[in-house]
């Protein structure tokens, strides 16, 4: 069975909202840990550039999410979007391939009707 365009847009909105929550949290963690590079100007500059690049990408994805939410298109902004796709707050642990596990608290929708 083929997914309807409306359902596909809803699924994309839910995924983007969840992804943006994770990106925001991870960017904050990287920013806090950036002090560990205080003595290495080259690595510090690389982290700073990466965070700036991620802020631009996040702003672009926020603009997509705004449009999916039915809001008037707005210029891309690095500020987080509070989306109606976010339905309630919760936190959970997740493990990364490098073995580092940590807790994240964020709002996102649990959609039980998608595969």
8 A C-beta contact, residue 58 and residue 28: no
Q: Is residue 9 part of a domain?
A: no
Q: Is residue 108 part of a domain?
A: no
Q: Which residues form the domain of 46?
A: 40-73
Band of the pLDDT at 113, cuts 50, 70, 90?
very low
- Is 21 annotated in a binding site? The answer is yes
Q: Is residue 60 part of a domain?
A: yes
pLDDT value at 41 more than 70:
yes
Measure the CA–CA gap between 21 and 16, rounded to whole angstroms. 8
Band of the pLDDT at 69, cuts 50, 70, 90?
confident
User: Total domain count for the chain?
Assistant: 1
Measure the CA–CA gap between 85 and 111, rounded to whole angstroms. 10
101's CB contacts (< 8 A; 6+ apart) are 93, 94, 95
Q: Is residue 99 part of a domain?
A: no
- Is 95 annotated in a binding site? The answer is no
Q: Is residue 65 part of a domain?
A: yes
Burial class (CB in 10 A: 0-12, 13-18, 19+), 107: middle
What integer is the mean pLDDT of 80-104?
A: 46
pLDDT by residue (tens digit) across 13-38? 999 999 999 999 999 999 999 999 99
Q: Is residue 83 part of a domain?
A: no
């Amino acid at each position: 069975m083929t997914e309807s365009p409306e359902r596909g847009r809803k699924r994309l909105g839910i995924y983007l909202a969840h992804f943006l929550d994770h990106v925001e949290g991870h960017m904050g963690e990287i920013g806090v840990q950036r002090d560990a590079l205080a003595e290495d100007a080259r690595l510090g500059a690389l982290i700073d550039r990466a965070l700036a690049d991620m802020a631009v990408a996040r702003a672009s994805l926020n603009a997509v999410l705004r449009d999916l939410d039915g809001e008037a298109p707005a210029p891309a902004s690095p500020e987080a979007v509070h989306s109606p796709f976010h339905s309630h707050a919760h936190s959970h642990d997740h493990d990364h391939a490098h073995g580092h596990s940590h807790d994240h608290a964020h709002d996102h929708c649990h959609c039980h009707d998608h595969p």
